[in-house]
Amino acid sequence: MEEVEGVKIMISEFFSHEKYVNLIIIAFNILLIYAILMAVVYLQRKLFKRFIDRRERQSSDKTNLIFLRNVVIYTTYCIGFLTMLNKIPSMEQLSKTLLTGAGILAAAVGFGSQQAISNIVSGIFMVIFKPFRVGDHIDLGGVNKGTVIDISLRHTIIRNSENRIIVIPNTVLNNQSIVNSTIITTKTSTSVNVSINYKSDVNKAMEIMQEEALKHPLLIEHRTPAEIENGAPGIVVRLIEWERSSITLQTWVWASSSGNAFALKCDLLKAIKDRFDNENIEIPQQYIIVEN
């Protein structure tokens, strides 16, 4: 009984100190604000997901909604953080200054965030002028190419053909040349070049290239109605160059997307090689002459 009474006395003494009570109230308020913040962000994500999915079903551009979602959620996090900061007595004045908005820019610059502000402005410009949209396939040169999956306040996220994620600051994109393969249409053309030696039948080789291209399932129609009506060929093969030991033939094929265009080109190169082997059309080879 004495031990129980001793514990009761300790608890009563603990809660009798005002500073401990204040600490508990502060901690409770911060946890409550955090819980509300998480609930609000969750509802925002759900709401924006519904709107974005609707745009996707309608085959409409969802870039603006995705960027607006990022802005709203980022702003909500900032307000929640500053509200939690306001509950700490020593930080109350700072949080009030930031919440009023007068000190936000000064604080950002003071913490060396000029680059962050530049990224935000660049992101806004990209959403307004739309050099690319979410879902577009873009090429920045080198290995930086792929499909845009998100545009946030500070950076743009690209998924490349290897399913790797590339994160690029908005400022970099805003100051760089971009090749957009899908901003107008997803249709993509690619060239298929084949070399044959001078002894081979050029007309037969051109006929084989045309036949293999026309029967490939990924090939799509690219001719205008007028060209079709006038009987323009679906595939044109041309002799484009005489080299020292070979003749180069070229044709252009069209596919529904850049990925299909790549697969189409690879398939045609193999199919043409197999036909050339069967019909005695020789592809020139480099021979190394070894002198004794």
Q: What pLDDT was estimated at residue 91?
A: 63
Give 72-137 as a 3 state SS string.
Answer: HHHHHHHHHHHHHHHCCHHHHHHHHHHHHCCCHHHHHHHCCCHHHHHHHHHHHHHHHHCCCCCCCE
Q: What is the DSSP letter of 10?
A: H
C-alpha span between 278 and 270 (Å, rounded) = 13
Number of domains into which the chain is organized: 3
In a domain, 284, yes or no: no
In a domain, 67, yes or no: yes
In a domain, 118, yes or no: no
Which residue, of 184, 206, 224, is where some domain finishes?
184
* Residue 13 banded pLDDT, cuts 50, 70, 90: low
Owner of token pair 């960027």? 67
Residues 164 and 100 in one domain: no
Residues 83 and 7 in one domain: yes
pTM for the model: 0.56
Residues 144 and 245 in one domain: no
Cα Rg of the chain (Å, integer)? 32
pLDDT 10s digits, 14-40? 555 556 667 777 788 888 888 888 898
Between 60 and 44, the more confident residue is 44
Range of the domain at 192: 188-278
Residues 56 and 146 in one domain: no
In a domain, 164, yes or no: yes
Q: What pLDDT was estimated at residue 114?
A: 62
Residues 64 and 77 in one domain: yes
User: What separation in angstroms does the CA of 248 have from each of 47, 68, 192, 237?
Assistant: 57, 51, 10, 10
Mean pLDDT for the stretch of residues 58-74: 77
The domain that holds 160 is classified in CATH as 2.30.30.60
Residues 174 and 195 in one domain: no
In a domain, 286, yes or no: no
Residues 156 and 224 in one domain: no
- Average pLDDT across the chain, whole number: 80
